[in-house]
Structure 1
């Protein structure tokens, strides 16, 4: 591959960079991504290639695959007697997974209460200080919530593209110069040999 074709390839990649999230989202639906996700799910680990969702309850946290629909974490009630619960995507940005019910189960007394998280993915549950509670999510994320996650990256993608282009503008003259220098050296070497 010549320097000119390298330059053309880099510029092509920069021109298509704004589509990288679309490509990533398509790959999330591919068979290999689903296969890897099922392996991580079976091993009770976060997703290998996909996006993760996070459930926080007090000082406890659980990360699972975007496709997991039944998971929980266990937390100890803090001294203040109020267990704070949060549901969101694990992301560069805090993108809440709100308007979902979570079940809070008292492990010491067997009580069970459903708490509806608000649109910011937050809720609270009165609890007995020091007691243990299992916070359980049953249900997947909606298409709108996944859309909101990907929309949150639009600004970051634009900023990264701008940064990459500015970096390339600094490197490109050196690549062009090295191409011209290589051609000149080749002509000179060829003339000398003749």
Structure 2
């Protein structure tokens, strides 16, 4: 007979004595983990995975409840920045959002490729990473499998960038300023879950 069973037996005897004496019983106690913490499954507000936490944050940003159908909607890539969020606020159909987002993502990609290949600068800061020797049959997710020469890549980046410049040059000045503000994330497109005047542009 272990120590735990003796303790349980003693607790039952004390509870019976207290009941006979008219003393109310103790409230049930929530079971804890071995280290004393509340169990993760019963802890209020516990997020099961990092993805759930991110999806709940996206739902809050859009003013949605964190229901399963809203969590599924929050998985789209366009909700990662204000430009995509304002598209979701202003467009009624998901196919229209997808079309406009692909155009915006194409502009951002062309801008980044031009800056990297032709200007020799990166648009985003480099972060620290631990360099490791690559295994014989291993590739990195950072590497693009592009068989063109560096000169061909630079020429393609410039051509694509000039095409975008021509397309944007046909817009009004204020529309161009709004688009560049969105690309550089310098313009407030959303305020209090509503599109600003710049966001509507």
Q: Is this a same-fold pair by TM over 0.5? A: no
Relative to its length, the structure with more helix (as a share) is 2
TM-score band w.r.t. shorter chain: under 0.3
Relative to its length, the structure with more strand (as a share) is 1
TM-score (norm 2): 0.20
TM-score (norm 1): 0.21
Q: Which has the larger radius of gyration?
A: 2
